[in-house]
Amino acid sequence: MNEWPGLIRRLASDRVVPPFLLHENTWRGTNHWILWGYFAVATSLVLVLRGDVETLSGVYTYAFLGLMTLFGSGCMLLKYKRAALPRDVIAPW
């Protein structure tokens, strides 16, 4: 959970996700909607899978593989579609 609130905060500031997620708790200074959202997603996974750790690990495995596939595809699309962008490092195919 270390990077998850930071990612959602960045997406909200870039207006990719709704901006109400940026509201901060005045007492602690945390983005409480992001934390409650993470808690709801994590808890619902445990409840839906009835605490089966093997199935839960499979869900996280496929989610991670999908994320890495999308990241690689996005990088290749940027390299192909936006070839004129100035870059410090030039990587061959």
Q: Taking the chain (93 residues) in consecutive chunks of 10 residues, what is each chunk's mean pLDDT?
A: 72 86 84 86 89 87 94 89 79 76
pLDDT of residue 30: 81
Looking at 27-92, list the stretches that DSSP marks H as alpha helix, in order from N- to C-terminal side: 32-48, 53-81
- Predicted confidence at residue 4, as pLDDT, reads 64
pLDDT of residue 3: 62
Q: Do 38 and 5 form a contact (C-beta atoms < 8 A)?
A: yes
pLDDT at 11: 83
Q: What is the pLDDT of residue 14?
A: 85
What is the predicted pLDDT for the residue at 67? 92
pLDDT at residue 73 in the model: 94
**How far is 78 from 80, CA to CA, in rounded Å?**
5
- Report yes or no: 28 and 54 within 8 Å, Cβ to Cβ: no
